[in-house]
Structure 1
């Protein structure tokens, strides 16, 4: 068998009605981000409120086992006008995750 996994990365999205959709459980952060980004390209087709990537440490009891790495809210893109996810990097630049846009804003 391979090495035991000490932590897992879980990307998820939250719908406007409060329901959460987990997109999987991965052994690397990079894979979790790839899956989340691929899902967000279709975000304008759903009524979503937010998304996040959470890391869980294995064999830890309680709240200390979970760390939220990143959370994004669904907003109107200032370029394409669609309601989608876009990352505002320190309020200076942003990247729209909409499939028809993908604008880089500075």
Structure 2
């Protein structure tokens, strides 16, 4: 339950880039933005990555790498903040940081996989 409204889904489907999509989401559905922002951002990145991979221009590929790096940066910043607030433990923080590092290494592999 608690899915996104059709309006929000449409906006996310049509978002040209992650930040624009997230801004729209915050306007349309602040609760979803705060509760599921991280998950929705990931979904947006996945969708846009897939679109970019289909188009596959070098410029688009470069933009994708920047997008991914930016998103991971934002995620890590948020994690550090949560950690400071005492909302997540050292272990969780470390685990997430390792995951992010792995994700950065995997993103080139991901791109190759998306071409199938």
TM-score (normalised: structure 1): 0.29
TM-score (normalised: structure 2): 0.27
Q: More strand per residue: 1 or 2?
A: 1
